[in-house]
Amino acid sequence: MATAEEVAKAAERRDVRDRWLLSAPALLVIFLAATGPLLIVLVYSFLTPGAYGDVKWQFSPEAWLSVFMERDIFDDTLSLAGAHVTIFWRSIKLAVVTTLATLALGFPTAYFMATRSEKTRDLWLFLITIPFWTNLLIRTFAVLQIIRNEGIINTILLKLGIVSAPVQILYTDTAILIGMAYVYLPLMVLPVYASMEKLDFRLVEAGYDLYATRFKVLRKIIFPLVKPGVIAGSILVFIPALGAYVTPSVLGGGKNMMLSNLIELQFGQGRNWPLGSALSITVMIIVMVALLAYVRNAGKSGVRHG
Amino acid sequence: MNWKTTTAAMGLALLATTSLARADGELNIYNWGNYTSPDVIKKFEAKYNVKVTITDYDSNDTALAKVRQGGTGFDIAVPSQTYVPIWIKEGLVQETDPGKMENFKNVAPEWANPDFDPGRKYSVPWALGTVGVVVNTDAYKGPADSWGIIFNTPDELKGKTNVVPEMNDVIFAAIKYVGGQQCTDDKTVLKKVRDTLVAAKPNWIAMEYNTIEKMGAGDFKATSDWNGSALRQRLANPAIHYFYPKEGYGLWSDNVVVLKEAKNVENAKLFQNFIMDPENAAGLSAFHRYANAITGSDKFMPADMKDAPEVVIPEAAKAQGEFQKMCAPEIQDIYTKIWTELQK
Amino acid sequence: MASNFSIKHQPGFTAIAATCFVVLYLPIIVLVAYAFNAANSTSEWGGFSLRWFQSAWQNTQVIDATLRSFQIGAIAAVLATIFATMAALATTRTAPYPGLTFKYAAINQPLMVPEIVTGVALLIFFSRIKIFTGYSGLGYLIAAHTAFCIPFAYLPIRGRLENMDLTLERAAADLYATPWKTFRRVTLPLLWPGILAGLMLAFVISLDDVVITEFVKSGGQDTLPTYMLGQIRRGITPEINAISTAFLLLSVAIVTLFFFVSRKRD
């Protein structure tokens, strides 16, 4: 006869098996149409660039070397790849600022939506997504119309006499930030809303009964409860923002490269596919490590209940 | 809204989007976006009872990468002359021998036997163009027939000048500006090119493609650009003029080739022949706003293009025009490094 | 709850939310307004006109591209959301088990590489399959879109599930409800806001994609973004505004209709 322990073990094994089955379709699709083909990229990063794009099947560590080091084209000295570092740093900065900006705007908005009556919540959810049913390019161009020198903002400022000449917003870092916050807002609002919608306000009430201030309630009760949503939102904004280039180049003028421009250059006019591959694997490793560390860390300090 | 209604809504949306009929004869064209005259296509469809499908690309490199991998289903593509030899060398195109086609007699003699496709064994000219400088003469009255507008921007245009971020075009121009030859491996010239570019960048407002709009609206007062784009800008604002830089400017042409993996080879050949007809060539030009290589097409050209200085290169500027070439991979590598340095 | 002290109130939140909605719709209003522009450009106003609607209506290429965008978006979003929901159920509310971290990393992987890289990798991989099977239909685009939409659907659903109460499900199980019934009647309704949010995100993300689509598409498979990408060099006309406006209005009409239908029934 099986002991209780054995039964429990078997149940656990069954549970793990079921969980694998349940996640199989997602894993399969991702493996076939995303991760698997990336193995090709991994292989490519160790090959020699073909003369006109693509690769020659000949081993070369050159691509990986040039991710981190650069050989001066004129005096042949090796040094740290300064240009790559500058570009990486620019993209990381932009992604961090964008995440913070969307959180500052998105958290209150999600809170507002989640505190509407149950019947109208879905309506608010649709209201917030409708602007995003037009694609990214169109939205970015629409933002451009607003901030350009002859745009709405400047026209109003001029009419009101607040400024005497149009303020140059377009092609500045401010323009990029406005555009990025606009474009990525739903990626923050929706996950935060999804975990806020089930917020148990009895807990909030209990907080007030204990004479907590509104800010304290927000910080000590509401925020920890919706933390999974905030984590999801931050990931969904940060990572795509790191790879963004349409919005920065349309609103920022395209004078400075973003990470994706650098990689795209290698697959396009630069015709150095191995370097492009090596650069993107570098990005992937950095992001993956950061993500796992972030989730693990955030998970630990998060409140568990239920 | 509950899950049932949402599912129903999605289903309905799906149903609404599945349609499209099919015709017997087909032709699949892979071309630059907004480059193919719908009227000429309609005429071709009617004449040969063929259903034409157009798919867009936005760069020679994307087109090359896709066609090289294969399985795309395209019959025809329109690469630039710098890329045509690669397409031929890599065996991506079929020898359709346009040189023997009925309408080939219309091709202007100087285009009948180009270096990139000797004897026109593969390709048919689609459009011809130049890369030069566009200036709004309301903002700047001085001489503008120089790359100095871009690389040594006059005070009036500082912070108002755009550069179209086409790496090979920009570096070609910069080499000409410092007095070198295209695809040079002379390090002193390339160093000068890099220094010139890096020093010029702070005077630029942007590096983007959207020049027709921005020149028209006044966001830019000068830009490097293609001639067809310059023509559209002048038609919108007569103060905008196109200049052929005296240091030398690039000439290019896009050419119709038939892919090796084409399924509709006969229709593709018909199309190659069809666009060498003067009236059809003029029809294409009227839409894409570039010149064509077909003699006799002038009389079908729209009035605003017939003597347009952007389309018809003035005698005085003809000598400085030079066909852009594909540089050797090592040189291209240096170009990329200079470009990264410029945009870092 | 005391009427003069709302426990739900947080100072400034409503103001920020209101600003947010205004800011979200402002560019859309501009977009719609320029669809009625008589001039040739999206930057100068040349009076009211319907000419761009007319020209968009006759431009089969742009209409096909827009329909195709919605078609791919709808299918990919639904598939991605279903798969993501299953995956989220499998990766939450459990003690760590072997492979959990792997699954988490694997599901989020499509987020982590710049689009161009996935695009090139898929180009190489799918081209082989296209040549081998001779099939070059929309399936490739749908597969690619589904894959990169999964993390976008997964994260909000997972966020919702993470600290969802297990008591109700246990109660249902105790009452001899089958697992499927428990899921349908208990888990799904509780999870629904997360699923809806995930679905919306996935749909939006699919509509936005340009780079991967550009590399994967075969002949005659332009979507609205890739069509626009091709146009950028030669200037975008208000035709794009017109077609976007038309589809925006259509979507809003459908959503409103279903919203009222579902309200009446509730």
Query: What pLDDT does residue B22 have?
Result: 43
B17 occurs within a structural domain:
no
Q: What is the CATH number of the domain that holds B236?
A: 3.40.190.10
The answer to whether C42 and A141 have CB atoms below 8 angstroms apart is: yes
Q: Report how many domains make up chain B.
A: 2
Residue C159 to residue A233: CA distance in whole angstroms: 9
Q: Which of B14, B72, B210 sits opposite C219 (nearest CB)?
A: B72
User: Which residues touch A234 (CB under 8 Å, ≥6 apart)?
Assistant: A99, A103, A188, A294
- Which chain A residues in 26-45 lie under 8 Å from chain C, judged by CB atoms? 26-27, 29-38, 40-41
CB contacts < 8 A, A to B, total 91
Residue A80 burial (C-beta neighbours within 10 Å; 0-12, 13-18, 19+): exposed
Distance from CA of A76 to the nearest CA of C (A): 30
- The CA-atom distances, in angstroms, between B323 and each of A19, A74, B130, B344 are 63, 27, 9, 29
- The CA-atom distances, in angstroms, between B64 and each of A177, B60, B82, B229, C119 are 35, 6, 12, 24, 14
Smallest CA-to-CA distance from B206 within A143, A250, A245, A264 is with: A250
Tell me the pLDDT band of A80, cut-offs 50, 70 and 90: confident
Residue B342 to residue B289: CA distance in whole angstroms: 31
List chain C pLDDT tens, one digit each, 266 residues. 444 567 777 888 889 999 999 989 998 998 898 889 888 777 677 888 898 899 888 888 889 999 999 999 999 999 999 999 999 999 888 778 888 888 988 998 888 887 888 998 999 999 999 999 988 899 999 999 999 999 999 988 998 888 677 788 888 888 888 888 888 888 888 888 889 889 988 998 999 899 899 999 999 999 999 998 888 777 777 888 888 888 888 878 877 777 777 666 55
Q: Do C193 and A135 touch (CB under 8 A)?
A: no
**Chains with ≥3 CB–CB distances under 8 Å to B:** A, C
Residue C31 to residue C223: CA distance in whole angstroms: 19
Residue C27 to residue C29: CA distance in whole angstroms: 5
Provide φ and ψ at B129, rounded to 5°.
-155, 175
pLDDT in tens, B99-122: 999 999 999 998 999 999 999 999
Q: Do C125 and A125 touch (CB under 8 A)?
A: no
Instruction: Tokens for C228, please give them.
Output: 């626009």
Beta bridge partners of A59: A47
User: Which residues touch B255 (CB under 8 Å, ≥6 apart)?
Assistant: B78, B79, B80, B81, B84, B116, B117, B123, B124, B125, B126
Compare all CA atoms of chain B with the CA of A91 and give the residue at the minimum distance: B344
Compare all CA atoms of chain C with the CA of A144 and give the residue at the minimum distance: C27
Using only C-alpha atoms, what is the Rg of chain C? 23
Helix runs in C36-138, H state only: 51-58, 60-91, 100-112, 115-133
Beta bridge partners of B53: B28
Instruction: Tokens for B317, please give them.
Output: 């500027």
Compare all CA atoms of chain B with the CA of A250 and give the residue at the minimum distance: B208
| B261 and B238 assigned to the same domain | no
**Cβ contacts (< 8 Å) between A265 and chain B: which residues?**
167, 336, 339-340
Query: What pLDDT does residue B13 have?
Result: 55
pLDDT in tens, B119-128: 999 999 999 9
Higher-confidence residue of B86 and A204: namely B86
β-strand pairing of B249-258 with B76-77: antiparallel
Question: B323: domain range?
Answer: 131-249+316-343
pLDDT in tens, A1-22: 568 888 888 888 888 888 899 9
**Hey, is the C-beta of C260 within 8 angstroms of any chain A C-beta?**
no
Smallest CA-to-CA distance from B93 within B256, B244, B257 is with: B257
B15 occurs within a structural domain:
no
User: Which residues touch A263 (CB under 8 Å, ≥6 apart)?
Assistant: A276, A279, A280, A283, C114, C116, C117
Query: What pLDDT does residue A72 have?
Result: 77
| B28 and B110 assigned to the same domain | yes
Query: What pLDDT does residue C2 have?
Result: 40
Query: What pLDDT does residue C262 have?
Result: 65
Residue A114 burial (C-beta neighbours within 10 Å; 0-12, 13-18, 19+): buried
Q: CB neighbours (10 Å) of residue B66? A: 23
CA B223 to chain centre: 16
- B30 SS3 class: strand
pLDDT in tens, B187-209: 999 999 999 999 999 999 999 99
B1 occurs within a structural domain:
no
Instruction: Tokens for B139, please give them.
Output: 């903002």
Instruction: Tokens for A123, please give them.
Output: 């309506």
Instruction: Tokens for C224, please give them.
Output: 């609205």
Query: What pLDDT does residue A68 have?
Result: 87
Q: CB neighbours (10 Å) of residue B59? A: 18
Rounded to whole angstroms, the maximal C-alpha distance in chain C is 71
pLDDT in tens, B232-288: 999 989 999 999 999 999 999 999 999 999 999 999 999 999 999 999 999 999 999
**Hey, is the C-beta of C208 within 8 angstroms of any chain A C-beta?**
yes
Q: Is the pLDDT of residue B303 over 50?
A: yes
User: Which residues touch B4 (CB under 8 Å, ≥6 apart)?
Assistant: none
Q: Is the pLDDT of residue B82 over 90?
A: yes
Smallest CA-to-CA distance from B324 within B209, B161, B167 is with: B167
Q: What is the 3-state secondary structure (H, E, C) of chain A?
A: CCCHHHHHHHHHHHHHHHHHHHHHHHHHHHHHHHHHHHHHHHHHCCEEECECECEEEEECCHHHHHHHEEECCCCCCEEECHHHHHHHHHHHHHHHHHHHHHHHHHHHHHHHHHCCCHHHHHHHHHHHHHHHHCCHHHHHHHHHHHHCCCCHHHHHHHHCCCCCCCCCCCCCHHHHHHHHHHHHHHHHHHHHHHHHCCCCHHHHHHHHHCCCCHHHHHHHHHHHHHHHHHHHHHHHHHHHHHCCCHHHHHHHCCCCCCHHHHHHHHHCCCCCHHHHHHHHHHHHHHHHHHHHHHHHHHHHHCCCCC
Instruction: Tokens for A186, please give them.
Output: 């739903």
Residue type, C213: T
Given 1.10.3720.10, 3.30.470.10, 2.130.10.30, 3.30.230.10, which CATH number is that of C61-235? 1.10.3720.10
Distance from CA of B131 to the nearest CA of C (A): 14
Q: Is the pLDDT of residue B181 over 80?
A: yes
Q: Do A232 and C159 touch (CB under 8 A)?
A: yes
User: Which residues touch B161 (CB under 8 Å, ≥6 apart)?
Assistant: B149, B150, B153, B203, B204, B205, B220, B221, B222, B223
**Cβ contacts (< 8 Å) between A136 and chain C: which residues?**
208, 210, 225
Please give the average per-residue pLDDT across B70-81, as a whole number.
94
Helical axes C100-112 vs A223-242, angle rounded to 10°: 50
- Which chain C residues in 207-266 lie under 8 Å from chain B, judged by CB atoms? 214-215, 217-222, 226-227, 229-236, 254-255, 258-259, 261-262, 266
Distance from CA of A19 to the nearest CA of B (A): 24
Distance from CA of A117 to the nearest CA of B (A): 13
Q: Do B1 and C262 touch (CB under 8 A)?
A: yes
| B143 and B235 assigned to the same domain | yes
Q: Do B73 and C136 touch (CB under 8 A)?
A: yes
Q: Do C64 and B71 touch (CB under 8 A)?
A: no
